[in-house]
Structures are given as C-alpha cells and as structure tokens.
C-alpha cells in the first residue's frame, strides 16, 4: 500500500496530479502537523517529533507500506527507513542527499535557521492574501489549481513549524547506510537545489543501497511538473520490489 508524506510549504494537495496519474485506489496521504493538519497542543515541530509522529501513523496500518516522501517528508521517510524498517516494504525519497556528510543547508533553510531573519521570511511568505500566496506558488512551478488548494493552509502555524523543524536539526548524525534494510529509491530531480548536489545525492543513495531515478530538468515540485513521468517511475520501482505486488 503506498503512503505519501509531503513537506514544506505544502499540503497533501501537492500529490493530487501524481495520484491521478497512478490511477490507484489504495493510496493514503499523511499530512505532517502544521502542514495541512493542525499543530497539536505541546507539539514542538522538531525533527524528532515528526519522526515519532510518522512512526505512530505507520504502526496504525498494521502492515508494511510503500512509503514516499517529498522535501521534509522525504527526510522523515529516510529516518524511518533507518530506525523502523519493519514498518516498510519499500521507501522513496527526494531528500536522501541531506544525509550526506558534506550536505550544506540550502539558502532558504539557512534563513529559517537564523533567529529574527527566519521570522521575517515566514511572515512575508505565509502572510498576505490567499491570492498572493497562490500566485507565489505558481511562480515556483506549482500548477494554479494545486496552488489554490495549498495556499489557504499556509498560515502562521505553518511558519512556526518551518522554523522549529529547521532549528531542531544539525548536520547528519546517521549514515544513509542505516536505510539499506529495505528497498529504496532516491528521486533526483536535476533542477532541485534543496537536497544537495547531484554527487551528494548519488553517493547518499549508494550508501543507502537505493536505486536512483533521475528526473531530468524537473525541480523541487517534480510531482506536479510531470506527474505521468513520476507515476511511471514509482510504478516501475514498486514492481521491482521483491514480495507481493505493490
């Protein structure tokens, strides 16, 4: 059973074009707290808390799943592959490169990790009107219909989650090798500059024992830029995983 986890600054709507292309009726989308679902009282939005949240969600399925993650969701996926491979049949992530020992935070992440500067950025990014936020997402490559479903959920709570998550993490402390207990696929969208260099992504994928799917010319929002291509890549990978049909 495929389970999808999105990242920042999105909601589960970001998967809709891809899911339409997959044409399956057994897919589940999970929304991390603050990213399309409420921040529970006392939830600090740290990387460890997101890991524990995802583990609890996966335990509830009662069977191993095919876990797919994008952006921060991709990082959560790799961490679960490292710590709880029993919950997975396979995993897919576009964020494997952030676990490379030489990974350097991308520009926006460096802003968000900086006190004061980060607050100013998220206030601007998640402020304004829904129409403003929709238009901004469109400039970043998100189709207008999908952007219009994401923008209403971009709010101060999402901003707090973005800052807390990025400030709770440090340089990678776990080797990608720990994710090698289950079949993995590293998505390398060549125009995405948030998940490390191409070399870092390939080396981290190799350490994790993961296959690599190169999406030439696609960027951070690869799942909406070419959903048909993405669906074919996922289906091909799932069909290659030993065991029962995906």
Mean pLDDT confidence for 169-179: 79
Strands of the 2-5 sheet, one edge to the other: 28-30, 2-5, 65-69, 88-93, 184-189, 211-215
Give the side-chain half-sphere CA count within 13 A for 105. Answer: 14
Q: What confidence score (pLDDT) does residue 174 get?
A: 72
pTM above 0.85, yes or no: yes
pLDDT at 20 over 70: yes
Q: What confidence score (pLDDT) does residue 172 get?
A: 62
pLDDT at 245 over 60: no
Mean pLDDT confidence for 69-84: 97
Q: 105: which 2 tokens? A: 């935070």
Q: What CATH topology corresponds to 2-103+175-240?
A: Rossmann fold (3.40.50)
pLDDT at 243 over 90: no
Mean pLDDT confidence for 15-35: 98
Tens-place pLDDT, residues 187-201? 999 999 999 999 999
Across the chain, what does the average pLDDT equal? 95
pLDDT at 244 over 90: no
Mean pLDDT confidence for 56-73: 98
Express as a percent the part of the chain with pLDDT over 90. Answer: 94
Q: Which of 130, 142, 160, 125 is nearest to 70 (CA)?
A: 142
Q: What confidence score (pLDDT) does residue 170 get?
A: 75
Tens-place pLDDT, residues 115-168? 999 999 999 999 999 999 999 999 999 999 999 999 999 999 999 999 999 999
Give the side-chain half-sphere CA count within 13 A for 151. Answer: 22
Cα three-residue angle 17-18-21, rounded to 5 degrees: 90
Task: Please give the Cα distance from 54 to 43 (Å, whole number).
Answer: 13
């Amino acid at each position: 059973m495929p389970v999808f986890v999105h990242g920042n600054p999105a909601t589960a709507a970001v998967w809709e074009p891809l899911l339409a292309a997959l044409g399956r009726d057994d897919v589940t989308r999970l929304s991390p707290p603050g990213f399309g679902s409420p921040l529970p009282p006392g939830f600090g939005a740290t990387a460890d808390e997101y890991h524990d949240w995802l583990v609890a969600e996966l335990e509830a399925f009662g069977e191993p799943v095919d876990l797919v993650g994008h952006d921060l969701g991709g990082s959560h996926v790799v961490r679960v592959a490292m710590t709880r491979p029993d919950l997975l049949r396979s995993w897919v992530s576009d964020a494997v490169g952030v676990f490379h020992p030489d990974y350097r935070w991308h520009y926006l992440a460096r802003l968000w990790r900086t006190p004061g500067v980060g607050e100013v950025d998220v206030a601007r990014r998640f402020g304004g009107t829904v129409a403003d936020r929709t238009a901004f997402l469109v400039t970043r490559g998100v189709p207008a219909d999908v952007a219009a479903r994401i923008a209403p959920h971009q709010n101060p709570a999402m901003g707090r989650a973005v800052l807390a998550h990025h400030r709770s993490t440090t340089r990678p402390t776990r080797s990608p090798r720990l994710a090698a207990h289950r079949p993995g696929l590293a998505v390398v969208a060549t125009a995405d500059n948030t998940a490390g260099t191409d070399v870092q992504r390939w080396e981290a994928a190799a350490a994790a024992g993961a296959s690599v799917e190169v999406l030439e010319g696609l960027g951070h929002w690869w799942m909406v830029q070419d959903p048909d291509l993405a669906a074919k890549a996922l289906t091909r990978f799932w069909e290659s995983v030993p065991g029962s049909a995906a």
